[in-house]
Chain A
Amino acid sequence: MADRFRTRLRAEVTRWVRDGLVTSEQGERIVARYPASTAWFARPIALFSLIGGAFIAAAVALVIAHNWQELHRWVKLGGVVALMIGAYAGGLVVRDRGYPKLGDGVLLIGGGLLLIGIGLVSQIYNLSGRPADALLLWWVLLLPAAYALPSLALVMLGYTGAFAWYWTLTFDRTSWLGSELAPNWILVPVALAAAGLLLFPLGLVHGDGRYRSVRRFLEQLGLATLVGSLYPLSFLWRDLSMPDTTGRWPVALPVVLVFAFVAVTAASYWLPRDTPAVRAGLVAVLLAVLVYLVALTGAVSARAPGVIFRALGFADWALIFAASLSLILYGARWGRNAWVNWGIVFLGIHALARYLDLFGTMLQTSLLFFVTGAFVLLLGWALEWLRRRMTAQAAVRRESA
Chain B
Amino acid sequence: MRRRLFLLFIALHALVLVGWVVSLEWAVARGATIRVAVAQRDPRDLLRGDYVWLQFAFSEIPPSAFAAPARPNAGDRVWVALAPHEGVWELTGASLTREALPLTPGARILVGRVDYPLVQVPEPTGGRPQAVHVVYGIERYYVPEGKGTPPRGQKLEAELALTADGRPFLRRLFVDGRPYP
**B 147-163 to A, binary, CB cutoff 8 A, 1 in contact else 0:** 00000000000000000
Closest A residue by C-beta to B5: A148
Chain B 1-37 interface residues, beta-carbon cutoff 8 Å to A: 2-3, 5-6, 8-10, 12-14, 16-18, 20-21, 24, 28
A55 within 8 Å of B (CB atoms): no
Q: How far is B142's CA from A61's CA once the two chains are assembled, in angstroms?
A: 14
A244 to chain B, nearest CB (A): 11
Which residues of the partner chain B approach A114 to less than 8 Å between Cβ atoms? Answer: 13, 17
**Docked-complex contact A173 and B116, CB < 8 angstroms:** yes
Which residues of the partner chain A approach B114 to less than 8 Å between Cβ atoms? Answer: 174
Partner of A174, one of B17, B113, B138, B169: B113
Closest B residue by C-beta to A61: B47
A105 within 8 Å of B (CB atoms): no
Chain A 41-62 interface residues, beta-carbon cutoff 8 Å to B: 61
Q: How far is B28's CA from A127's CA once the two chains are assembled, in angstroms?
A: 12
**Docked-complex contact B141 and A126, CB < 8 angstroms:** yes
Q: How far is B135's CA from A176's CA once the two chains are assembled, in angstroms?
A: 15
B178 to chain A, nearest CB (A): 15
**Docked-complex contact A77 and B143, CB < 8 angstroms:** no
Q: How far is B154's CA from A349's CA once the two chains are assembled, in angstroms?
A: 52
**A 51-88 to B, binary, CB cutoff 8 A, 1 in contact else 0:** 00000000001001111110001100100110011001
B135 to chain A, nearest CB (A): 6
**B 59-80 to A, binary, CB cutoff 8 A, 1 in contact else 0:** 0000000000000011110000
**Docked-complex contact B2 and A126, CB < 8 angstroms:** no
B173 to chain A, nearest CB (A): 9
B144 within 8 Å of A (CB atoms): yes
Closest B residue by C-beta to A119: B47
**Docked-complex contact A145 and B6, CB < 8 angstroms:** yes
A305 to chain B, nearest CB (A): 24
B137 within 8 Å of A (CB atoms): yes
Which residues of the partner chain A approach B45 to less than 8 Å between Cβ atoms? Answer: 65
Which residues of the partner chain A approach B73 to less than 8 Å between Cβ atoms? Answer: 179, 183, 246, 248
Which of B115, B142, B145: most chain A Cβ within 10 A?
A: B142
**A 125-146 to B, binary, CB cutoff 8 A, 1 in contact else 0:** 1111110000001000110110
**Docked-complex contact A127 and B137, CB < 8 angstroms:** yes
**Docked-complex contact A125 and B75, CB < 8 angstroms:** no
Which residues of the partner chain A approach B21 to less than 8 Å between Cβ atoms? Answer: 73-74, 77, 121, 124
Q: How far is B3's CA from A67's CA once the two chains are assembled, in angstroms?
A: 35
Which residues of the partner chain A approach B28 to less than 8 Å between Cβ atoms? Answer: 125
**Docked-complex contact A81 and B47, CB < 8 angstroms:** no
**Docked-complex contact A67 and B5, CB < 8 angstroms:** no
Closest A residue by C-beta to B134: A174
A60 to chain B, nearest CB (A): 11
**Docked-complex contact B74 and A125, CB < 8 angstroms:** no
A241 to chain B, nearest CB (A): 19
Q: How far is B2's CA from A66's CA once the two chains are assembled, in angstroms?
A: 37
Which residues of the partner chain A approach B90 to less than 8 Å between Cβ atoms? Answer: none
Q: How far is B44's CA from A367's CA once the two chains are assembled, in angstroms?
A: 50
Which residues of the partner chain A approach B49 to less than 8 Å between Cβ atoms? Answer: 64-67, 123
Partner of A173, one of B9, B20, B115: B115
Which residues of the partner chain A approach B138 to less than 8 Å between Cβ atoms? Answer: 126-128
Closest B residue by C-beta to A174: B113
Which residues of the partner chain A approach B8 to less than 8 Å between Cβ atoms? Answer: 148
Which residues of the partner chain A approach B46 to less than 8 Å between Cβ atoms? Answer: 61, 65
Which residues of the partner chain B approach A126 to less than 8 Å between Cβ atoms? Answer: 138, 140-142, 169-171
B23 to chain A, nearest CB (A): 10
A122 within 8 Å of B (CB atoms): yes
Q: How far is B118's CA from A246's CA once the two chains are assembled, in angstroms?
A: 12
Which residues of the partner chain B approach A149 to less than 8 Å between Cβ atoms? Answer: 2-3, 6
A27 within 8 Å of B (CB atoms): no
Which residues of the partner chain B approach A81 to less than 8 Å between Cβ atoms? Answer: 14, 17-18
**Docked-complex contact B47 and A64, CB < 8 angstroms:** yes
Q: How far is B23's CA from A137's CA once the two chains are assembled, in angstroms?
A: 15
A182 within 8 Å of B (CB atoms): yes
Partner-B contacts on A (CB < 8 A): 61, 64-69, 73-74, 77, 80-81, 84-85, 88, 92, 110, 114-130, 137, 141-142, 144-145, 148-150, 173-176, 178-180, 182-183, 246, 248
14 pairs, CB–CB < 8 Å, chain A vs chain B: A65-B49, A67-B142, A67-B143, A85-B10, A85-B14, A123-B49, A125-B24, A126-B171, A127-B137, A141-B12, A149-B6, A173-B116, A174-B113, A174-B115
